[in-house]
Amino acid sequence: MMSESSQSFYKHVAQTSDEPIGLEIDRAEGSFIYTTDGKRYTDLISGIAVSSLGHRHPNVLKAIKGQLEKHLHVMVYGEFIQSPQSKFAHLLCEQLPTNLDRVYFVNSGTESVEGALKLAKKFTGRSKFVAFHNSYHGDTHGSLSVTGRNVYRDPYQPLLPNVYFSDFNSDAVFDLIDEETAAVIMEPIQGEGGIIPAEKKWLQKVRRRCDETGALLIFDEIQTGFYRTGSLFAFKYYDVVPDIICLAKAMAGGMPMGAFVSSSEIFEVFKKDPPLNHVTTFGGHPVSCAAAHASLKTLLSDDFAEKGMKIEKIVRSILKGDGIVEVRGRGAMLGLQLRDSVLTEKVVNRCFENGLILGWTLHSNSLIRIAPPLIIDENLLRSSLNSIIRAIADFS
Ligand code: PMP
């Protein structure tokens, strides 16, 4: 007998596929999600790279509760001085190079990409974008226009004109970047494309080509950010500083939030001709900002870079053998490439039955995403990985 909540979910909540996972959630804590039928699941994908500090981290809860006592929404973005926003912007910019000194707050990843694209167009006076096959930047029209997968784009054509796609890690991109290019947009490690890291030297060359042509470089660090890949942001590892960085997902410890960060010089264009030409009602919501501040403070108070790299080491040491092609990625943003999609589906389903939440990436059905909370207990991680190995052995 389906619960009322379940009936209503299937009847009234808009569905995104015919086969939703359909776990009925009771509560979540740390690395675990508990369902209403009394089962406990280990979350090995962190709600898709969101719960890096685990579910309901006490510092985040405390900050949220504190803000609830003060105020919720008071005014549209950019007009009133709200201390959770100012405090978080300050802490975030302190961690960034000097050219990333101004933050525009939004509510989601796709909104941050929309803002970044508009900012690049207005600052450069150009309209051409260069993006990459297999990329994922979000599902609103602008971000879908720079997303490199035709099955998702085709139903919504026409999208933005003047977007050119290159293979990732290919030198073909250098000819596409020219004096008409507003920006190159890329994920330093492609997430939904199947956890594909950029090559360091190539990425540095992309930066140089942008400098030569006056094109801006936008890094979409929505998935790679906040220690997911063994450094606070992936650009630190690559030693490449972008002109605009897009953030969301893990930013606010489980609250909805996004941001795009750039220089004061670039952001000047948003203030005039006309004023108020890029505004949002809820961007930088005080509760999300309070949560984000607590989350970042907590991340900075411990060695999360090392924790991420340790996760990678453990995953690589356990996930090998028959059926496994490779483990790709960096830190706690890893992909387990299996032989084929049939095996992958069987393994994911078996793990699910055994209380382990795994998943595919959007563009790849033969790869299992491994992105645990960074606070995951080492023994829990090892036993979870061993149950993946057992499932692979059962079906190989
Ligand atoms: N960019 C990247 C790299 C992402 O992984 C995602 C979400 N998977 C987005 C953008 C879109 O973020 P949101 O779902 O918050 O709009």
Please state the rounded mean pLDDT for residues 223-249.
98
Q: Whose CA is nearest to atom 1 of ligand 1?
A: 137
- Domains plus CATH for the chain? 4-56+303-395 (3.90.1150.10), 71-300 (3.40.640.10)
Token pair in block for residue 125: 């006076």
> Quick one: tokens of 390?
């057992």
Q: Is 223 in the pocket of ligand 1 (CB under 6 A)?
A: yes
Q: Retrieve residue 239's tokens.
A: 């030693």
pLDDT at 140: 98
CA of residue 377 to ligand 1 center, whole Å: 27
**Percentages helix, strand, coil for the chain, rounded to the nearest 5?**
40, 20, 40
Q: Residue 1: pLDDT above 90?
A: no
CA distance 353 to 348: 9
Cβ atoms of residues 247 and 110 within 8 Å: no
Adjacency order of strands within the sheet including 324-330: 324-330, 333-338, 364-370, 359-361
Cross-strand pairs, 357: 43
How confident is the model at residue 169, as a pLDDT?
Answer: 98
**Per-residue pLDDT at 131:** 98
74, 77, 82, 87: CA torsion to nearest 10: 150
Q: C-alpha 307: how far from its chain's center?
A: 18
Provide the pLDDT for residue 190: 98
Q: What is the pLDDT of residues 145-185, one digit of tens each?
A: 999 999 999 999 999 999 999 999 999 999 999 999 999 99
Does the pLDDT of residue 361 top 90, yes or no? Answer: no
220 lines ligand 1 (CB under 6 A): yes
Tell me what pLDDT residue 364 has. Answer: 87
Q: Is the CB of 195 under 6 A from ligand 1?
A: no
Is 190 touching ligand 1 by the criterion CB < 6 Å?
A: no
CA 303, chain centre distance (Å): 21
Q: What's the gap in Å between 7 CA and the centre of ligand 1?
A: 29
- CB of 363 shorter than 6 A to ligand 1: no
**234 CB-side CA count, 13 A:** 31
Alpha-carbon distance 26 to 47, whole Å? 15
Average pLDDT on 288-293 reads 98
* % the chain with pLDDT above 90: 98
pLDDT at 202: 98
What 3-state class would DSSP assign to 329?
strand
| Integer-rounded Cα radius of gyration of the chain | 21
Per-chain mean pLDDT for the chain: 97
Q: Which of 41-45, 319-323, 331-335 has the lowest mean pLDDT?
A: 319-323
46 lines ligand 1 (CB under 6 A): no
**How far is Cα 199 from Cα 185, in angstroms, rounded to an integer?**
16
Lowest mean pLDDT among 91-95, 132-136, 357-361: 357-361
Pick from 97-111, 139-153, 197-211, 348-362: least confident: 348-362
- Rounded to an integer, the average pLDDT of 335-342 is 95
Among residues of the chain, what percentage have pLDDT more than 70?
100
pLDDT for residue 67 is more than 90: yes
